[in-house]
Amino acid sequence: MPDTRLGPIAELRKLVARARARGIGDIVRLSSDRLVENLSSSETLIVFVRPAAGDRRPVEGAALRRAVAEDAERYERDIGTDAAETFVRRLSDSTRCYGVEFGGTFMHATWITTKAAWTRELRAHFRPPPGDAYVFESFTRSDARGKGLYPFALREICHDLAIEGLARVWVAVEVDNPPSLRAVTKAGFEESWRITYRRTLGVLNVGPPVGEGAAIDDHEWVTRLPGG
């Protein structure tokens, strides 16, 4: 499996884009949170699943579409989780980005993959079972929260993937992230399994997946990379 982690220069460009879109205060908070996380932290990821096919519930004024390379500068300006260059590099046949347009601006963005997504918290890849997709890196702008854009995006993405013949869609959420937990359950997702990890002085310890969905078809969900 290829290592999809970005190099240091690309990561720096992402930070610059984030600072431009959200302000330097956001970068300071992020750096502080990462430092505390590495010193001592414990977290649980809950992995949810739902059939790709399902109901759709429109949100007035909102429209979801698949983002393309030509959206790179707009994505950097409106969302800020990627520089234009790294945004384009991440797009592929197996990994795509969806944006929710609201008032002429990308107010929400969500990435999906049918192959693998690097998960920083676990220093590993999440791989959905064949024929399924995995949702990751969802972000809603602060001036658009409370409008239901995240569950709207998830339902629309599931509908789009069902048309392409995919069976199920998966998403992981931290147990201490109530807004995202509410959003994914509103979008029809149900808990499948959990995985707990701890960091002490930078040393990562990941527990085994727990739950019925952790061993579906003997599928190995979490794949570690050499040196990960």
What are the residue boundaries of the structural domains of the chain, listed by start?
38-224
CA distance 108 to 103: 12
| CATH of the structural domain 38-224, one choice from 3.30.720.120, 3.40.630.30, 3.40.47.10, 3.40.30.10 | 3.40.630.30
Is 0.85 topped by the overall pTM?
no
Q: Where are the alpha helices (DSSP H) in 47-142?
A: 72-78, 84-90
* Exposed / middle / buried, residue 35 (Cβ in 10 Å: 0-12, 13-18, 19+): exposed
Q: How would you write the pLDDT of the chain (228 residues) with one tens digit per residue?
A: 444 555 565 556 655 665 566 566 655 565 565 555 656 678 999 999 999 999 999 999 999 999 999 999 999 999 998 989 999 999 999 999 999 999 889 999 999 999 999 988 888 889 999 999 999 999 999 999 999 999 999 999 999 999 999 999 999 999 999 999 999 999 999 999 999 999 888 888 988 888 887 765 555 677 765 444
Strand 133-140 vs strand 168-174: parallel, antiparallel, or unpaired? parallel
CA–CA separation, 94 and 227 (whole Å): 25
Rounded to a whole number of angstroms, the CA Rg of the chain reads 17
How far apart, in whole angstroms, are the C-alpha atoms of residue 28 and residue 99?
A: 26
